[in-house]
């Protein structure tokens, strides 16, 4: 990267991660700060630098546009509008950090810090792992713009099937043992519950089943796992594949502060403490870290995934009972958000006894 003034367009976790990665990997880049359309719902400072409303620095950007590069670090559905705003300021050089670029940057960043090891860095073996990943869909999903050809080991699974007669997949989370009617609060976790009760439990009873790994993706978000990567799993005894964690300031609690009421967070902590008193102290310490496993995306060995589900769902059920109003009286996705925090705590807690590797998270557009 040439020595330029770098501005980061965005001020949430994606922008923070890109900032830290650029700082670590491209010391020649001179980061000036963050710009946003409005400071409403955004911090006034991030990573020790100011966050400016773009209207406040319009003249600076115009005057120095030949020396400036803008990194657009926000959700991809916002990029078009952000590009238009930049074009109105002149001939500014900009780079859109899409999910592919984000994955590459965070992979290099964590490799330099020797944290959150990459799946792609592992050696390949001769044997291909047998895998089944369910891609969660809803009848209300907006169509994906580009036709995506996904590998055959990714199978659609409709979530919230008990709440509608419309079907968008041949497999539905209301079949067999399920909590499909809770989808308004649990989001994709009703699909994970179905997978746990109807696939993982069945696998444990079946003899000679070749499938070793199961997982969960979203209709728009998938983990970047290639066919070559399937030859890395058994060779390296991989237990879990997770997305590279997002960064949050000052710690992972920043995420729940945006999406979850404090009373619901407290209910989750009480459930965790009462059900797992042996681990609550370390979990409280882990909450002080900036790392967060977002979106409830993962692939894991069937036993590892079953163990995680057996830990997760009793906590969520207890949290529902402690919530005010109760879970059945609402549909605001709060359990799904709390599930992300619990997944982060669980796998950070087990980071020393599980072989956990990471990959990028791809946004299908």
Residues 145 and 278 in one domain: yes
**48 contacts 66 by C-beta, under 8 angstroms:** no
The DSSP call for residue 13 is: H
CATH number (domain holding residue 24) = 3.40.50.20
Asked if the structure places residue 289 within a domain, the reply is yes
Residues 219 and 346 in one domain: yes
Q: Which of 63, 97, 131 is the last residue of a domain?
A: 97
CATH number (domain holding residue 133) = 3.90.550
Residue 73 main-chain phi, psi, to 5 deg: -120, 80
Percent of the chain residues past pLDDT 90, beyond the cut: 86
- 208, pLDDT greater than 80: no
Residues 11 and 146 in one domain: no
Other beta carbons within 10 angstroms of residue 65's beta carbon come to: 17
- 1, pLDDT greater than 50: no
**183 contacts 160 by C-beta, under 8 angstroms:** yes
Q: Which of 65, 97, 129 is the last residue of a domain?
A: 97
Tell me the C-alpha distance between 292 and 314, whole Å: 21
Asked if the structure places residue 111 within a domain, the reply is no
**361 contacts 105 by C-beta, under 8 angstroms:** no
- Confidence at residue 2, expressed as pLDDT on a 0 to 100 scale: 53
Residues 207 and 301 in one domain: yes
3-state secondary structure of 90: coil
- Confidence at residue 119, expressed as pLDDT on a 0 to 100 scale: 98
**167 contacts 248 by C-beta, under 8 angstroms:** no
The DSSP call for residue 182 is: G
**77 contacts 14 by C-beta, under 8 angstroms:** no
Residues 33 and 133 in one domain: no
Residues 34 and 152 in one domain: no
What pLDDT, in 10s, does the model give residues 49-58?
999 999 999 9
Asked if the structure places residue 106 within a domain, the reply is no
Per-residue pLDDT, averaged over 314-334, amounts to 91
**What is the value of pTM for the model shown?**
0.95
Residue closest to 107 by CA, chosen among 119, 97, 98: 119
Tell me the C-alpha distance between 179 and 170, whole Å: 18
Asked if the structure places residue 112 within a domain, the reply is no
Residues 188 and 307 in one domain: yes
Q: Which of 97, 130, 146 is the last residue of a domain?
A: 97
Find the range with the poorest average confidence among 112-116, 236-240, 260-264.
260-264
Other beta carbons within 10 angstroms of residue 268's beta carbon come to: 26
Asked if the structure places residue 170 within a domain, the reply is yes
- Confidence at residue 326, expressed as pLDDT on a 0 to 100 scale: 81
Residues in Cβ contact with 257 at an 8 Å cutoff, skipping those fewer than 6 apart: none
Helices vs. strands in the chain: H and E counts, helices first: 13, 16
- Confidence at residue 329, expressed as pLDDT on a 0 to 100 scale: 82
Task: Return the structure tokens found at 347.
Answer: 């796998």
**Burial (Cβ within 10 Å: 0-12, 13-18, ≥19) of residue 4:** middle
What pLDDT, in 10s, does the model give residues 100-119?
999 999 999 999 999 999 99
Tell me the C-alpha distance between 16 and 246, whole Å: 9
What pLDDT, in 10s, does the model give residues 57-76?
999 999 988 899 999 999 99
CA distances from 9 to 24, 105, 314 (A): 19, 16, 40
- 207, pLDDT greater than 60: no
Residues in Cβ contact with 242 at an 8 Å cutoff, skipping those fewer than 6 apart: 223, 293, 297, 298, 347, 356, 357, 358, 359
Residues 73 and 189 in one domain: no
Tell me the C-alpha distance between 166 and 263, whole Å: 35
Asked if the structure places residue 113 within a domain, the reply is no
Residues 128 and 77 in one domain: no
Asked if the structure places residue 81 within a domain, the reply is yes
Residue 135, H or E segment: strand 131-137
Strands 30-36 and 5-9 turn out to be parallel
- Confidence at residue 223, expressed as pLDDT on a 0 to 100 scale: 98
Domain that holds residue 76: 5-97
Strands 30-36 and 49-53 turn out to be parallel
Asked if the structure places residue 107 within a domain, the reply is no
Provide the domain count of the chain. Answer: 2
Residues 21 and 123 in one domain: no
- 79, pLDDT greater than 60: yes
């Amino acid at each position: 990267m040439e020595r330029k003034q770098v501005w980061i367009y965005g001020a949430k976790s994606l922008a923070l991660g890109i900032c830290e990665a650029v700082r670590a990997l491209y010391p020649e880049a001179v980061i000036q700060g963050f710009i946003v359309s409005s400071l409403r719902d955004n911090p006034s400072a991030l990573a020790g630098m100011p966050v400016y409303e773009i209207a406040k620095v319009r003249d600076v950007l115009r005057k120095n546009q030949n020396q400036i590069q803008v990194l657009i670090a926000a959700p991809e559905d916002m990029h078009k509008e952000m590009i238009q705003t930049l074009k109105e300021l002149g001939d500014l050089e900009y780079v859109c950090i899409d999910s592919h670029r984000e994955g590459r940057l965070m992979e290099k960043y964590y490799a330099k810090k020797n944290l959150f090891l990459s799946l792609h860095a592992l050696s390949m073996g001769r044997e291909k792992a047998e895998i089944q990943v369910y891609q969660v869909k809803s009848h209300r999903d907006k169509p994906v713009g580009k036709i995506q050809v996904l590998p055959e080991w990714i199978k659609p699974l409709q979530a919230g099937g008990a709440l509608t007669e419309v079907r968008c997949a041949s497999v539905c989370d209301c079949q067999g043992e399920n909590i499909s009617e809770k989808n308004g609060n649990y989001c994709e976790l009703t699909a994970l519950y179905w997978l746990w009760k109807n696939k993982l439990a069945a696998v444990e009873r079946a003899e000679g089943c070749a499938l070793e790994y199961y997982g969960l993706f979203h209709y728009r978000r998938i983990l970047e796992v290639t066919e070559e990567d399937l030859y890395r799993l058994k060779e390296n005894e991989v237990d879990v594949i997770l997305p590279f964690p997002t960064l949050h300031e000052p710690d992972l609690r920043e995420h729940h502060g945006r999406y979850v009421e404090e009373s619901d967070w407290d209910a989750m902590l009480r459930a965790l403490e009462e059900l797992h008193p042996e681990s609550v102290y370390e979990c409280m310490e882990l909450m002080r870290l900036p790392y967060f496993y977002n979106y409830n995306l993962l692939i894991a060995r069937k036993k590892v995934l079953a163990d995680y589900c057996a830990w997760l769902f009793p906590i969520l059920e207890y949290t529902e009972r402690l919530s005010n109003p109760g879970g059945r009286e609402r549909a605001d996705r709060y359990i799904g958000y709390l599930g992300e925090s619990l997944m982060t705590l669980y796998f950070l807690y087990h980071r020393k006894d599980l072989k956990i590797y990471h990959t990028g998270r791809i946004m299908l557009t």
